[in-house]
């Protein structure tokens, strides 16, 4: 146990392990985990803003008491896996819909939340219609290309048949 002079009282004070762990300045200072230290060092090595982001997160965590970086990253990874596995087709509408399920927090106003849900559903339907029209147009263009290719091939074959047989095979 260590002692320290108490500047106000003038006497010595004993510090034990519980005093050190419960010190006021340590309560809002979460410990760095090995994952966070490695992430910060690698972040500075690979791309310095990543290291700054880790430092910023730790500063925010100290003030708000949020989860440690590893828990935060694990949760976001699980959210991303859930979004990817919930629908195998990766159209824009599916991504927007799944992202809104996970990240669109309620405003607390039920009327606004219902209106927002209805608008998102309407926009999702519009996106579906646009995707369908795009598919139809792509099929139309492909049919035109096939018809043009068929026409060019038929013209080539007709010209080839019209040529005399000895013209194409002799060398000068």
Q: pLDDT per residue over 23-76, tens digit each? A: 554 555 567 778 788 888 988 898 888 888 888 888 877 777 777 777 777 888
Cβ(116)–Cβ(139) under 8 Å?
no
Range of the domain at 39: 26-86
Which of these three, 69, 86, 103, is where a domain ends? 86
The 8-class DSSP code of residue 5 comes to E
pLDDT of residue 69: 76
Residue 17 is assigned to a structural domain of this protein: no
Helix-, strand-, coil-residue percentages of the chain, each rounded to 5 = 75, 5, 20
Note the pTM of the prediction, 2 decimals. 0.34
Tokens describing residue 110: 């039920």
Q: Give me the number of domains the chain comprises.
A: 2
* Structural domain contains residue 36: yes
For residue 32, being part of any structural domain is answered with yes
* Conformational region of residue 10, where left means phi above 0, alpha means psi within -120 to 50, and beta covers everything else: left
pLDDT digits (tens, 9 = 90+) for 90-143: 555 555 555 555 556 777 888 998 999 999 999 999 999 999 999 999 999 999
Answer whether residue 80 shows pLDDT above 80. Answer: yes
Q: Which of 66, 86, 106 is the last residue of a domain?
A: 86
How is residue 169 written in tokens? 């095979």
Last residue of a domain, one of 70, 86, 102: 86
Tell me, yes or no, whether 52 lies in a domain: yes
């Amino acid at each position: 146990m260590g002692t320290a002079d108490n500047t106000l009282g003038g006497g010595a004070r004993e510090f034990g392990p519980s005093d050190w762990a419960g010190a006021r300045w340590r309560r809002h200072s979460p410990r760095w985990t090995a994952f966070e230290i490695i992430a910060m060092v690698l972040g500075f090595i690979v791309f310095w803003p990543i290291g700054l982001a880790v430092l910023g997160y730790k500063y925010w965590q100290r003030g708000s008491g949020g989860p440690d970086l590893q828990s935060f990253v694990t949760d976001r990874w699980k959210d991303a896996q859930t979004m990817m596995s919930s629908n195998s087709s990766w159209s824009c509408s599916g991504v927007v819909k799944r992202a809104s399920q996970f990240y669109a927090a309620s405003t607390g106003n039920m009327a606004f939340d219902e209106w927002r849900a209805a608008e998102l559903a309407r926009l999702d339907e519009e996106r579906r219609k646009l995707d369908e029209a795009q598919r139809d147009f792509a099929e139309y263009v492909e049919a035109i290309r096939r018809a043009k290719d068929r026409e060019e091939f038929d013209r080539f074959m007709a010209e080839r048949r019209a040529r005399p047989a000895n013209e194409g095979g002799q060398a000068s």
